[in-house]
C-alpha cells in the first residue's frame, strides 16, 4: 500500500511498476471446464444452447456484436449479465470438450484478412484489438499508438509481452498496417525496454514511469505534443491506441492461422506480491485463484484492472475478459473506505491533478448534482480518469466516482434529448 510520505510539502509521485526481471515466473492456468464469454448487448442471434463450437469459430449474438470462441465445446447456457453502470451483456457459457479442434474458416479468413473481417474475427483476441474505429467515416486515423505500458500501477502484463515477444509485435504492426492502411505505427515503451524495442526495428517512443503518463491522453500530450480537446477521444484527432498484447495477438492469428486464446495478466496478491499469469479467455476468476493458491474470503475485494482505474467484481464466476490486464485481490482488513466528511478545501487534489482541473470546486458541484454546470464551467470533460484525486483526498471523498457518475448521467441526458428531438 502506498502511504503519504512524512514530508508532505512535495506532491506525491506515484510510479508504475516497471518489469525488471528478464525472466519473470509465469503461471499457466490449466484449461477450465467451462468458459464464459461476455458480449455487449442482449440477445442470442443465431446462437442456441447445445451448439458445437470450434476454437476460433465466429459467433454473433446481435448485429455488429462478434466474438470468436476461445475453446472447442458445447454452448451450455446463454443468459443476461449486468456490468458496470447497468450495461447489459450476454453471457455465453461453453462447456469445454476434451479435444481441441481449430476452426478452418478462421484460418482461411486470416490468410488475407480484410478490415471488414478484422472487425469480426479479432474483436475478442487477447488485448481486445478494436478495428471499428477504422471503419468510422467520421474518423480519420493517421497514427496507431501501440501501448507497451500498462494502464495502471502494479501491472506488468503488457510490459511482459513487449519484453518477451518484441518480434511478434513487430510483425503484428506490419499486419496492422496492411489491414488498416495506416502507415505510422509507434510503439510506446518504458525506458527499460526502449533499447530492445528499437533494436527490433520498430518506431519507439519512451514514456515516463510516473503515473499517469501512460494514459492515452497523457501519452499524446507528452510524447506527441497533441492535446485532445476536452470531452473528445484520441481517435477524434487521428490517433488510435492499441495494447502491445493486442498487436502480438494479431501477429499470432495471421502467422499461425489459429486464434490466440491465452490472456496474459498480472495477479496482485493480498500481500502486494505480483505474478504474471496466462489464462484462457473466459476462465472463471475462481479457477485462476485456485491454480495460484489464493484464498478469497467473504468481504474481500477482487478488482479487474489496477488499483486506480480498475473495477470491482461481485462474483467469483466472473470470466477473464480479453482486456483484463490485472486481477487485484485485497484483504478485507486493508480496504480503505470512503466517507461522508465534507471537503475542507486543502487543495491536495488540485495540486496532483494531471489535467489541471479545479477538483475542489468540481467535487462540490458534483456532490450537489450540478452536472451541467460542472461540465460547462469546471472542466468535468477534461478529466482523464486517473483516480489520483480520490487517492489523496484527506476527507476520503469518492471524487473519482462522482466524476464518472456525472459523465454517465450527462451522456444519458444527451441521449434522451437526442431521442426526444
In terms of C-beta density within 10 A (0-12 exposed, 13-18 middle, 19 or more buried), how is residue 259 classed? buried
Start-to-end Cα distance in the chain? 50
In the list 26, 196, 312, 368, the residue contacting other proteins (rule: CB under 8 A) is 312
Within 198-217, the residues that bind other proteins by CB under 8 A are 217
In the list 32, 70, 260, 387, the residue contacting other proteins (rule: CB under 8 A) is 387
Instruction: Report the residue number, 114 or 341, with the smaller CB distance to other proteins.
Output: 341
CB of 193: closest distance to other proteins in angstroms?
26
Angle at 134 between CA 53 and CA 260, to 5 degrees: 30
CB of 396: closest distance to other proteins in angstroms?
6
CB of 421: closest distance to other proteins in angstroms?
24
Instruction: Report the residue number, 103 or 287, with the smaller CB distance to other proteins.
Output: 287
172: left (phi over 0), alpha (psi -120 to 50) or beta: alpha
Instruction: Report the residue number, 20 or 295, with the smaller CB distance to other proteins.
Output: 295
Does the protein bind other proteins through residue 398 (CB under 8 A)?
A: yes
In the list 52, 82, 195, 227, the residue contacting other proteins (rule: CB under 8 A) is 227
Q: Exposure string (b/e) for 44-66, b if CB count within 10 Å is 16 or more?
A: ebebeeebebbbbbbbbbeeebb
Place of cell 466524476: 403
Does the protein bind other proteins through residue 391 (CB under 8 A)?
A: yes
Instruction: Report the residue number, 205 or 226, with the smaller CB distance to other proteins.
Output: 226
Q: Which of 388, 188, 160 is nearest to 267 (CA)?
A: 160
In the list 4, 49, 178, 412, the residue contacting other proteins (rule: CB under 8 A) is 4
Angle at 339 between CA 336 and CA 343, to 5 degrees: 120
Within 291-310, the residues that bind other proteins by CB under 8 A are 296-303, 305, 307-310
CB of 208: closest distance to other proteins in angstroms?
16
DSSP E strands in 211-284: the ranges are: 239-243, 262-268, 274-280
Q: How many residues does the chain have?
A: 421
Instruction: Report the residue number, 73 or 307, with the smaller CB distance to other proteins.
Output: 307
Does the protein bind other proteins through residue 127 (CB under 8 A)?
A: no
Q: What is the largest CA-CA distance in the chain?
A: 63
Within 320-379, the residues that bind other proteins by CB under 8 A are 328, 330, 332, 335-338, 341-348, 350-351, 354-358, 360-361, 379
Amino acid at each position: 500500500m502506498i502511504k503519504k510520505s512524512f514530508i508532505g510539502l512535495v506532491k506525491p509521485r506515484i510510479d508504475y511498476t516497471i518489469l525488471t526481471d528478464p525472466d519473470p515466473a509465469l503461471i499457466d492456468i490449466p484449461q477450465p471446464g467451462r468458459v464464459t464469454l461476455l458480449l455487449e448487448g442482449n440477445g442470442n442471434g443465431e446462437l442456441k444452447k447445445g451448439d458445437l463450437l470450434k476454437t476460433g469459430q465466429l459467433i454473433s449474438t446481435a448485429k455488429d456484436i462478434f466474438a470468436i470462441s476461445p475453446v472447442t465445446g458445447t454452448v451450455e447456457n446463454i443468459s443476461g449479465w449486468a456490468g458496470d453502470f447497468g450495461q447489459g451483456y450476454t453471457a455465453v457459457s461453453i462447456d469445454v470438450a476434451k479435444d481441441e479442434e481449430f476452426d478452418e474458416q478462421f484460418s482461411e479468413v486470416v490468410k488475407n484478412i480484410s478490415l471488414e473481417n478484422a472487425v469480426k474475427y479479432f474483436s475478442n483476441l487477447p488485448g481486445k484489438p478494436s478495428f471499428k474505429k477504422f471503419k468510422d467515416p467520421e474518423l480519420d486515423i493517421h497514427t496507431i499508438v501501440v501501448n507497451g505500458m500498462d494502464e495502471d500501477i502494479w501491472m506488468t502484463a503488457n510490459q511482459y509481452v513487449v519484453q518477451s515477444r518484441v518480434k511478434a509485435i513487430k510483425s503484428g504492426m506490419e499486419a496492422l498496417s496492411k489491414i488498416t492502411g495506416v502507415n505510422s505505427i509507434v510503439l510506446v515503451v518504458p525506458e527499460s525496454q526502449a533499447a530492445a524495442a528499437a533494436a527490433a526495428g520498430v518506431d519507439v517512443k519512451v514514456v515516463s514511469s510516473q503515473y499517469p503518463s501512460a494514459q492515452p491522453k497523457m501519452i499524446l500530450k507528452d510524447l506527441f505534443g497533441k492535446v485532445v480537446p476536452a470531452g473528445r477521444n484520441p481517435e477524434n484527432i487521428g490517433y488510435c491506441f492499441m495494447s502491445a498484447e493486442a498487436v502480438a495477438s494479431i501477429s499470432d492469428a495471421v502467422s499461425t492461422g489459429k486464434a490466440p486464446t491465452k490472456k496474459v495478466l498480472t495477479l496482485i496478491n493480498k500481500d502486494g506480491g505480483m505474478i504474471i499469469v496466462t489464462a484462457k479467455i473466459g476462465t472463471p476468476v475462481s479457477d485462476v485463484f485456485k491454480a495460484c493458491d489464493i484464498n478469497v474470503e467473504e468481504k474481500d475485494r477482487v478488482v479487474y484492472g489496477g488499483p486506480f482505474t480498475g473495477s470491482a467484481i461481485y462474483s467469483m464466476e466472473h470470466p477473464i475478459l480479453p482486456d483484463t490486464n490485472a486481477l487485484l485481490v485485497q484483504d478485507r482488513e486493508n480496504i480503505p473506505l470512503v466517507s461522508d466528511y465534507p471537503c475542507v478545501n486543502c487543495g491536495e487534489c488540485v495540486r496532483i491533478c494531471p489535467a489541471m482541473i479545479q477538483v475542489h470546486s468540481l467535487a462540490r458541484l458534483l456532490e450537489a448534482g450540478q452536472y451541467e454546470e460542472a461540465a460547462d464551467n469546471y472542466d468535468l470533460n477534461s478529466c482523464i480518469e486517473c483516480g489520483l484525486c480520490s487517492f489523496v483526498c484527506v476527507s476520503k471523498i469518492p471524487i473519482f466516482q462522482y466524476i464518472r457518475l456525472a459523465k454517465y448521467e450527462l451522456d444519458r441526458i444527451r441521449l434522451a434529448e437526442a431521442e426526444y428531438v
